[in-house]
Amino acid sequence: MLTSPHDPVSARRFALIPCAGTGSRAGGHVAKQYQTVAGHPMIWHALAAFSACERISATALVLAPDDMPLESRFGAEAFAGLRFDTAFVGGDTRHASVLAGLHHLAQLGATDSDWVLVHDAARPGLTPAMIDTLIRAVEADDEADAAIGGILAVPVPDTLKRADAGTQVGVRIGSTVPREGLWQAQTPQMFRVGVLRQALQEALAAGAVVTDEASAIERLGLHPRLVNGSLRNFKVTYPEDFALADILLAPAASPADR
């Protein structure tokens, strides 16, 4: 039976983790993705989540050209049993690293109609269940724009304040921002390889600043699906975030809890 280019039965799923940044806001003497969280280098947790997800065909870890293999940095035993391929093609920005990573996935056999799930290296709380939830929601989308993709995200629960830009001394409230309809974007962000590459290339050519993959897709006039994520999947950004990550990622009672 012939399948269409966007048939989820024929399309494979690849994971892409840009890991070329320095994470300067997190402090420390090494990049935050290499600092220890719950007994492992932070990047280990994301790699373990994708490795445990049978729906993922392959995972590409994008490192800076002058970086070293994880096995050389931590020892081969630290990442034993994990499925991933390393590409030393990272750029100066996330945008550049993801675009270079997509070209690397093509070398691994990914086609334009395959899916790619882009994930932040600094989100160690990802679980196989979250990955599965995103894949199911995106591939089950029966709307006309089913090929657009979607992202994990959580509704904003807090009251939001906009700072008064005209304040001369200290920082004061300028206004309250209604939180209705606002979501906090997370990762993975899942799109067709070809569509995401086009979106990133067009944004780059236009000199547009895109802070995540979804914002590049939005520039094409498309509207990705929002899929409920989890507060566990937060981004480690500041030094105090490591303590919270240690608590959340403490060894679970059983593998099924991850």
Quote the CA–CA distance of 155 and 228 in Å, as a whole number: 8
Model-level pTM? 0.89
Tell me how far apart the alpha carbons of residues 70 and 59 are, in angstroms, rounded to a whole number.
14
Q: Which fold has domain 13-257?
A: Spore Coat Polysaccharide Biosynthesis Protein SpsA; Chain A (3.90.550)
Side chain identity, residue 189: Q
Q: Give long-range contacts, CB 8 A cutoff, 24+ apart: 233-236.
A: 233/123, 233/125, 233/126, 233/130, 233/152, 233/186, 233/187, 234/123, 234/125, 234/186, 235/120, 235/122, 235/123, 235/186, 236/26, 236/32, 236/37, 236/42, 236/122, 236/123, 236/124
Q: Where are the domains of the chain?
A: 13-257
Is the Cβ–Cβ distance between 93 and 101 less than 8 Å?
no
pLDDT in tens, the chain (258 residues): 223 344 545 789 999 999 987 544 444 578 889 999 999 999 999 999 999 999 999 999 999 999 999 999 999 999 999 999 999 999 999 999 999 999 999 999 999 999 999 999 999 999 999 999 999 999 987 655 556 899 999 999 999 999 887 766 778 899 999 999 999 999 999 999 999 999 999 999 999 989 999 999 999 999 999 999 999 999 999 999 999 999 999 875 444 445
